[in-house]
Structure 1
């Protein structure tokens, strides 16, 4: 594990797209190939990916409600158990504490290529968190993120 990178990476700007999770990793935008949260409980979250797999995620113009990691069935994608305060969820709590920016990437449909891509949405701050029942009835962590003012 290398030195954490908070903020923008290289010359990448919001709106830039990446064809795969591997491309995100190679660019240094988001290092885990599968996990949606990059970071640790000690340093905070460097980046998150909204991949349209957690039913409680909400992406809005003024805020994001991001569901923490865990409790999903690997085959069906359904929430089947309560989430815990694992290292990745603690990373987002640490980010709320430190105020360091989190890179947000989101899986979207690219009209030009008719493919799913990952778009860099920009820098956000974690400004709140809550634990409670999600749509499936299981306990989930929800993190509120707002855009960093330019």
Structure 2
């Protein structure tokens, strides 16, 4: 198991872009090639990817709302059942407790026929979580993240 990295990995900084999930993985900025959360229940989350897959996700200047994973129909992408605590959700819940910085990456849709990219948005702190009815009526986890500030 790789050693967790909290904070900026290597020389990568906010604004850097990556062509695809493989580039994210090889760089170490976000190791999983498919999962939206990199982390463990024991140590917390290292990084997350906002890819526009969940209806509760919202990226704002001073706050991110990030939905837990699971409960979606694989064909339509619609929420069809309640979310249950999986590895990613448990890692984010742990991050609320630890206060460790989490790297945030976001899929940016390209214009004019250019390919989509993943942009490193920076370090955030998971400040809270809720579990309740989402927009589709099913129970979902929603995590509130704010820019990480060192004391």
TM range (shorter): over 0.9
Q: Is residue 141 of structure 1 aligned with residue 141 of structure 2?
A: yes
Distance across 1 between alignment mates of 2:101 and 2:112: 30
Which residue of 1 is the match for residue 46 of structure 2? 46
SS at match of 2:109: strand
1:64-103 mapped onto 2 (5 Å cutoff): 64-103=64-103
Distance across 2 between alignment mates of 1:81 and 1:41: 23
Distance across 2 between alignment mates of 1:125 and 1:11: 20
Deviations 1:78-137 (A, max 9, x none): 111100112210100111100100000000024587221000000000000000111111
TM-score with structure 1 setting the length? 0.96
Distance across 1 between alignment mates of 2:4 and 2:72: 27
Deviations 1:54-92 (A, max 9, x none): 011010000000000111111211111100112210100
Structure 2: gaps spanning 5 or more residues: none
Count of paired positions: 150
1:1-150 mapped onto 2 (5 Å cutoff): 1-111=1-111, 114-149=114-149
SS at match of 1:122: strand
Distance across 1 between alignment mates of 2:70 and 2:131: 13
Distance across 2 between alignment mates of 1:100 and 1:85: 20
SS at match of 1:115: coil
SS at match of 2:119: strand
